Amino acid sequence: METWNLALFVSEAVLYFVLMTALLHFRHRIGLGVFLTALGVMHFVETYLAAVFYIALPFGVVSPGSSVFFAGKLMMILMLYIKEDASTVRQPIYGLFLGNLVTVAVAQLLLLHQTIEPTPAQAADMQFLRDMGLLMIWGTTLLYLDSLGIILLYERLGRPMSRLPVIRFWLCGAVVLTFDQAGFFLLLSYLFNAPMEVFWGGWKAKMVSVALYAAMFALYHRLLRGVGATQARRPIRDIFSDLTFRERYEDLLARTGRDVLTGVFDRGRMEIEGPHMLCDSLKEGAPASLMILDVDYFKSINDRFGHLRGDDLLKTIAGCLQSEIRQQDHLFRFGGEEFVVMCPRTGYAEAMVIGERLCAIIRDTVRNPSGETVTVSLGIAAAPEDGNSFNGLLSTADERLYRAKGEGRNRIVGRPAAEA
């Protein structure tokens, strides 16, 4: 019987490690959440088996729940840390800790129920719920300490054992699981008068498990490291993959090319989208307009009030412009205190009206730190009259902006009257 139990014990350890390592290995294809969920859902079963399920092995009486599954989970947490980083591995550590506290709280509420027996053989074991609550709190606390301890020990051994990853892996597991066995046995002894044979048998079983896990870790480290983990260019296809890909693409597109200070599109985004917007308008047989706006006397604002106040002013101006342009228009920060507004399907006359409104909203609402009015100068160019290329419109609008500044600022300059 003991030999048969030992064969099953080893098979359980191998099966657990192979399946969980596969989920961890392919986390980039199926998602890390699959591994974390599988790690967490077994905790209640582990605790239950550690409390009531024991078998006889050649080296003593042990519980697979504690020796195989709990020990395996701890080694999986260490492997996750090795494969990822501290910010990732804290997710299962805190998740298990807090999740089990919630489970215990719910169990205490369940104890308040007036239960019934569907059949005579289905009476609720209320004492088991009480014992499991304490076992889960104690086990969860130990797991929290074990998880922190095994990671800190692994890091501490990093320098002297940097070339011995398998021995380092085994030693960390052996030390921390010895501590765990001592801590868990104290509660088992208190609740169930467990004899010392349970401690020694459990400790030996955990050492056997750690040896098995270290051997399989060595095999994995040697044969499978880096193979298959990230080969797929897209995750395994299902409806969630497609939704995730679309959401991430749209989010990335929305955030790419944003000016860090003002939050509007930056010059790089303008150089990509501007020509497309112009081309689309012209293909439809519609005009398109471009305006460049410059904050008047901005250098003196920086000199008088400092660059931080100047930055705040630029944010305010960008917000005003963004709120006033139409949904079809795009606002870009061109550089420094200059902004570009691209207006597709908009002729010169309509662009002049929009420009006047933008200048007015700045003049009427924006003040410098001393309360003085802030004004802007603006140059406008329109296609096809001023050219059919984006760079040509930009150059023409820029020339007219500098004419506006040369004529005294706080004004708009478009095409000469003769051309208009």
Query: What does the pLDDT look like over 30-63, one tens digit per residue?
Result: 888 888 888 888 777 777 777 678 888 888 878 8
Closest C-alpha among 352, 393, 382, 392 to residue 289: 382
Pairing relationship of beta strands 376-383 and 412-413 according to DSSP bridges: parallel
Residue written as tokens 């101006």?
Answer: 317
- pLDDT score of 132: 62
Per cent of the chain over pLDDT 90 is 50
pLDDT in tens, 329-370: 999 999 999 999 999 999 999 999 999 999 999 999 999 999
Beta bridge partners of 413: 379
Contact 319, 372 (CB under 8 A): no
- pLDDT score of 249: 58
d(CA 379, CA 299): 20
Q: Is the pLDDT assigned to residue 201 strictly greater than 80?
A: yes
- pLDDT score of 328: 94
Q: Is the pLDDT assigned to residue 242 strictly greater than 60?
A: no
Out of 3.40.50.920, 3.40.50.720, 3.40.50.1360, 3.30.70.270, select the CATH number for domain 256-413: 3.30.70.270
Residue written as tokens 């897209």?
Answer: 234
The full set of domain ranges for the chain reads 2-114+122-223, 256-413
How large is the average pLDDT for residues 72-88? Answer: 87
Q: Is the pLDDT assigned to residue 194 strictly greater than 90?
A: no
- pLDDT score of 111: 78
Per-residue tokens: 368 = 């410098």
C-beta neighbour count of 361 within 10 angstroms: 16
The number of C-alpha atoms within 13 Å of 254 and in the hemisphere containing its C-beta is: 6
Q: Is the pLDDT assigned to residue 219 strictly greater than 80?
A: yes
Whether residue 384 is preceded by a cis peptide bond, meaning omega within 30 degrees of 0, is: yes
* pLDDT classification of 133: cutoffs 50, 70, 90: low
Contact 29, 232 (CB under 8 A): yes
Closest C-alpha among 402, 285, 397 to residue 332: 397
The answer to whether the pTM exceeds 0.85 is no
Q: Is the pLDDT assigned to residue 386 strictly greater than 80?
A: yes
Q: Comparing 186 with 231, which gets the higher pLDDT? A: 186
* pLDDT classification of 245: cutoffs 50, 70, 90: low
pLDDT in tens, 170-191: 999 999 999 998 987 887 788 7
Per-residue tokens: 81 = 């840390």
d(CA 27, CA 31): 5
Q: Is the pLDDT assigned to residue 244 strictly greater than 70?
A: no
